[in-house]
Amino acid sequence: MGIRTAFGVLMLCMSLAVYLGIGSGAGTNRVYAMPVSEVNHLIDEIDLPEIIFANYTHKAKHWRENDKLSVWALQNDAGKETFRLTATTAADKKGSLVTVAILPPDNDKRDEVKKMLDGNPAFADLFGSALAEQIDAKLNNRLFSIANISRPMARVTLHAAPQILQMRKSIDEEYAQHAKEDRERYDQLYKSR
């Protein structure tokens, strides 16, 4: 086995390990040994982690729906809701159970976004894990740790690979087309002399 093949196999194994869950990933259901009211209070104080929601953090609208549900509606530049994140709190034998979810918006784009989220579970997982990690950090009085969401981040990267390749292909095709047209224009200058 050549060194390149060996390296390729190693990379494949590492990717599979990450994909299959061997690595750090923030769970979306967690139990905290504190009362629901206190958990709710702390949840309502968090900001969405900018490192993941860079395009949305300043445009996220937050409200508490009731004593069980906290909602963040992420908006585009036009102020239209694109999707929403929720944190549900419930009393548990050991304290409070917090469950996060990512949902389509409550508008005409609902079905479209739902389809997009269903078709891209890695992205939904990353957003949910990032929110769960931010809540966990707040409830444990520590900083948000990117290492704790490394697994969903790796999954997003792996899922995006075909799109990146497709993007690269289309850029190459566009460049080739542009070069062809440029060459034709140049040759035409000689023909028209």
Nearer Cβ to another protein (106/187): 187
Query: Between 156 and 185, how does the x/- string for binding to another protein read (CB under 8 A)?
Result: --------------------------xx-x
Q: Which residues pair with 47 in a beta bridge?
A: none
Out of 78, 108, 111, 186, point to the residue binding another protein (CB under 8 A): 186
Nearer Cβ to another protein (174/182): 182
Q: State CA 165 to chain mean position distance.
A: 19
DSSP state string for 49-73? -TTTSTTTGGG-EEEE-SSSEEEEE
Burial 1-40, CB ≥16 within 10 A → b, else e: eeeeeeeeeeeeeeeeebeeeebbbbebebebeeebeebb
Nearer Cβ to another protein (93/193): 193
C-beta of 193: minimal distance to another protein in Å?
7
Nearer Cβ to another protein (106/182): 182
C-beta of 31: minimal distance to another protein in Å?
59
